[in-house]
Amino acid sequence: MAKQKRLLISLMLIVAVIMAGCSSNNNNGAGNATETSQATSKAEPTVKAAGGSDEAFTIRLGGWFIDDRTFMQEFKANVEKKYKEKYPNATIQWDILLGATYFDRLKAELASNTAPDVFFHQNTVNQYAEVDYLVDLSDQPWVSQLSPGTRPATTVNGKIFGGTLGLSGAGVWYNKQIFNDLGLAAPATYAEFLALCEQIKAAGKTPIVLGFKDTWTVGLFMSNFFSSVLNGIDPTFNKQLYDGEKSLEGEEIQALLNKVQNLTEKGYFNKTALSIDWPQSSDEFTSGNAAMIVQGAWLPGAAEENFTKKGHSRFDIGYFEFPDDNGFYSINLSPSETLSLNAKSKLQQQGKDLIAIIMNEDILGPYSVGNGSLPPLEGMNVTYSNTAMNEFLAAVNKGKTMYGFEAFISSSAETSLIETMTKIVSGAKYSPADLKDAQTKHEKDKATRVLPPE
């Protein structure tokens, strides 16, 4: 009797453990301050997909950038409204995880077959297509409208695996009020840029505000600062860097780092450069404490939010890209968020329809205006309400647009250079060993880098 009791208890324990281990545990919302998922998520749709517009189902859409900015909320509302017109009883579950952690979670979800039905991602089309995570969308109606600039980013072996929400650029945004008060104009050469930094500093303002606590801003600054000079030397410099004909230890990169060192030594950056993040640097700019900020084309929209919600005095914002010594500049334009369909989703048609709705002028138009991105569809005319964006467009149309040099080196080499940049901005001098480290890592890991299309 005692033996049977013990056996029964043991069996119950084993069953309980197995049941616990097999339960669905895909809750994204609990305890995460940055997460805005609107419902507890399940890997499976609420209703088995069987086609038909009246069916009730929940479709999951994953992303990392859809925050509480006004145009983002409007984007969500517009998408939901359009989708309801096609599927009145459908619900879109927005699986949003703000920040870089989203990409790590997406990788794990794709590997474990729990990823959203439709998801945004960035710079991973080749890898995901290679392991069959993505659906070939070449036959979709919006594909023929994709602009030549965005198409290559989502094309693998001639097939289209997603759409992009636009082309993003970056550069130097400046406070026109400060410039006008000091009699300054956007610089045409690097020497003019240095001269205006000195005048701004003498006037008691911070010439350039950095928010390097967010390491992505370091990469963005580096990419923009390096771009004009390297592309001005040779339009194929970046490719030569990848192939090993040019080196990260070379005089070109050293000269650029010396320039950054010079800017630091002259006190042209804010003293808090390494302890404030992007939103705080944005506040420094819009509060009028700093004259310039290096950021993406979303800056005018973010500034508008600060003017409206934080009560900062409004001023006009101007744009220029870092010029080289000879007055040449190039702007890094790259496809922004890519939208793809999960190959394992049970809502294939519904997912395709959701992507088609998003890849439409009605949705992309307001999004492009708010985000400051160039629209991805040919023939789309977007009128930016912010004059700064028009200056950005004019610069894009007038200058050269290219991929940044970081698209041609391994991630580990880029990280090494970013660390060297933060070291320089902290006031320390960089050493040749720092660049040797970056070059060694590039040679070791360059096979992991998927080159951008030519």
Query: Minimum distance from CB of 428 to other proteins (Å)?
Result: 5
Query: Minimum distance from CB of 108 to other proteins (Å)?
Result: 9
Among residues 303 and 418, whose Cβ is nearest to other proteins? 418
Query: Minimum distance from CB of 204 to other proteins (Å)?
Result: 15
Among residues 6 and 48, whose Cβ is nearest to other proteins? 6
| Burial of 250: CB neighbours in 10 Å, binned 0-12, 13-18, 19+ | middle
Among residues 7 and 255, whose Cβ is nearest to other proteins? 7
Among residues 78 and 264, whose Cβ is nearest to other proteins? 264
Query: Minimum distance from CB of 258 to other proteins (Å)?
Result: 16
Question: Where along the sequence are the contacts to other proteins (CB under 8 A)?
Answer: 3, 6-7, 10-11, 13-14, 16-17, 21, 33, 100, 104, 107, 110-111, 124, 127-128, 130-131, 212-213, 215, 271-276, 410-412, 415-416, 419-420, 422-423, 425-428, 433-434, 437, 440-441, 444-445, 447-448
Query: Minimum distance from CB of 116 to other proteins (Å)?
Result: 17
Among residues 56 and 131, whose Cβ is nearest to other proteins? 131
Among residues 128 and 315, whose Cβ is nearest to other proteins? 128
